[in-house]
């Protein structure tokens, strides 16, 4: 594997330039919650990449002027010292894979198309964009990773080190990260796209992200993953998720929407059950979250429209449904759900084609 080979350093040449990528957030149906070793998931996860919720990241790089590499970081045109620290420690963790990091200075401009810390994985989009750019620097300056498959596999491997879920954002459509029994090619080390296995009903899935609250998260996912180490239900949870991942791959292939709904909602509620059963415990749902869940279930019961919900580690609700039901569901959201939403309303999103190089 390419990332196992010793990384490259500049010797007699130097290299500077500007690279821009846009990379999406994703929403997991089978959730990653709990890890071991260095960013190895305790169970496989499956998500789809979003279309309109993405980070656009521009990196200017030039030969380092001092002994240590320097990073300047702006999010939505504003310097962000906390994020800058995270990026520096992420880059330091990557110097074995990309020794050239230590020989460069970086100016990083990132913009998200969605509110920060909304429980929409900004770490997934942001870290995957950075990983793609680092691989692109390697490609541009050293003429490596010229085979697309190698490029994206390494980008996913590297994104995983910044944020597990970011490993899935490197690809479009449905993506699995973590070894799934019986599914060749899946790995704990990087995500793999599973589009060859998908029924057409699941190729255009919609995600209306219902923003109950867009404040800062109360628990970082790093702490959340750690708490699984002493969670009394961890073992059963991991084996449930392994079964669900295996089952979901079949469901996506068969187009079995009823079973999809069952798995999706069970995964979301189990994720939150795990947080509630941790020590210390976290309740990240808000009263509006529960109201919305009840509205969704009532609407499905009364109309037969196959909507379902999933949740990330926060109070916002992702409403998932096939594209053929778009008009009905849009009315439902505007009429019945809007009163429960915060000032940012909702984000109308859908499955997307994955990252894009802009420059």
Residue 229 to residue 34: CA distance in whole angstroms: 7
Task: Select 47 or 153, whichever has its Cβ closest to ligand PMV.
Answer: 47
- DSSP helix/strand/coil, 306: coil
Residue 94 to residue 100: CA distance in whole angstroms: 10
Residue 341 to residue 57: CA distance in whole angstroms: 29
Give the angle subtended at the CA of 157 by the CAs of 155 and 158, to the nearest 5°.
65
Least CB distance to ligand PMV at residue 145 (A): 23
Run of H or E including 350:
strand 346-350
**How many C-alpha atoms does 21 have within 13 Å on its Cβ side?**
24
Alpha-carbon distances of 178 from 16, 43, 167, 216, rounded to whole Å: 35, 6, 10, 28
Task: Select 121 or 234, whichever has its Cβ closest to ligand PMV.
Answer: 121
Least CB distance to ligand PMV at residue 228 (A): 11
Task: Select 133 or 271, whichever has its Cβ closest to ligand PMV.
Answer: 271
Cα Rg of the chain, angstroms:
20
Residue 79 dihedral angles phi and psi, to the nearest 5°: -60, 140
Task: Select 44 or 322, whichever has its Cβ closest to ligand PMV.
Answer: 44
Task: Select 31 or 138, whichever has its Cβ closest to ligand PMV.
Answer: 31
Residue 282 dihedral angles phi and psi, to the nearest 5°: -130, 135
Alpha-carbon distances of 68 from 17, 62, 103, 115, 277, rounded to whole Å: 19, 13, 8, 33, 43
Least CB distance to ligand PMV at residue 164 (A): 4
Least CB distance to ligand PMV at residue 31 (A): 4
Residues that bind ligand PMV (CB under 6 A): 28, 31-33, 45, 121, 123, 163-165, 221, 271, 312-313
The pair of structure tokens assigned to 258 is 């009823």
Least CB distance to ligand PMV at residue 28 (A): 3
Least CB distance to ligand PMV at residue 45 (A): 4
Least CB distance to ligand PMV at residue 318 (A): 11
Residues near 144 by beta carbon (within 8 Å), at least 6 away in sequence: 2, 8, 138
Residue 184 to residue 231: CA distance in whole angstroms: 30
CB atoms within 10 A of CB 269: 15
Run of H or E including 111:
strand 104-112
Task: Select 239 or 303, whichever has its Cβ closest to ligand PMV.
Answer: 239
Task: Select 87 or 271, whichever has its Cβ closest to ligand PMV.
Answer: 271
Least CB distance to ligand PMV at residue 226 (A): 10
Task: Select 33 or 100, whichever has its Cβ closest to ligand PMV.
Answer: 33
């Amino acid at each position: 594997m390419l990332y196992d080979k010793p990384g490259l350093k500049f010797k007699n040449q130097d290299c500077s330039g500007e690279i821009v990528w846009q990379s999406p957030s994703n929403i997991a149906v089978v959730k990653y919650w709990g890890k071991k070793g260095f960013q190895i998931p305790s169970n496989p996860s499956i998500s789809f990449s979003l279309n309109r919720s993405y980070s656009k990241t521009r990196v200017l790089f030039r030969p380092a002027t001092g002994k240590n590499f320097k990073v300047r970081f702006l999010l939505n045109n504003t310097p962000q010292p906390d994020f800058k620290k995270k990026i520096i420690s992420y880059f330091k963790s990557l110097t074995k894979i990309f020794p050239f990091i230590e020989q460069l200075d970086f100016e990083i401009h990132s913009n998200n198309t969605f509110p920060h810390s909304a429980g929409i994985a900004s770490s997934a989009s942001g870290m995957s964009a950075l990983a793609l750019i680092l691989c692109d620097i390697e490609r541009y300056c050293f003429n490596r990773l010229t085979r697309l498959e190698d490029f994206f596999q390494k980008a996913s491997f590297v994104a995983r080190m910044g944020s597990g879920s970011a490993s899935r954002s490197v690809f479009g459509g449905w993506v699995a990260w973590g070894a799934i029994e019986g599914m060749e090619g899946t790995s704990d080390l990087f995500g793999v796209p599973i589009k060859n296995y998908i029924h057409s009903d699941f190729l255009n899935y919609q995600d209306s992200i219902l923003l109950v609250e867009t404040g800062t998260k109360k628990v970082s996912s790093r702490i959340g993953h750690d708490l699984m180490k002493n969670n009394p239900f961890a073992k059963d949870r991991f084996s449930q998720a392994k079964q669900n991942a295996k089952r979901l791959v079949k469901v996506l292939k068969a187009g079995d929407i009823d079973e999809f709904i069952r798995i999706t909602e069970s995964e979301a509620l189990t994720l939150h059950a795990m947080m509630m059963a941790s020590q210390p415990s976290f309740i990240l749902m808000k009263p509006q979250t529960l109201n919305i869940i009840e509205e969704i279930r009532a609407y499905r019961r009364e109309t037969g429209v196959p909507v379902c919900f999933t949740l990330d580690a926060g109070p916002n609700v992702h409403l998932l449904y096939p594209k053929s039901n778009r008009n009905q569901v849009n009315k439902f959201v505007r009429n019945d759900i809007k009163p429960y939403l915060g000032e940012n309303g909702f984000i109308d999103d859908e499955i997307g084609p994955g990252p894009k190089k802009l420059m």
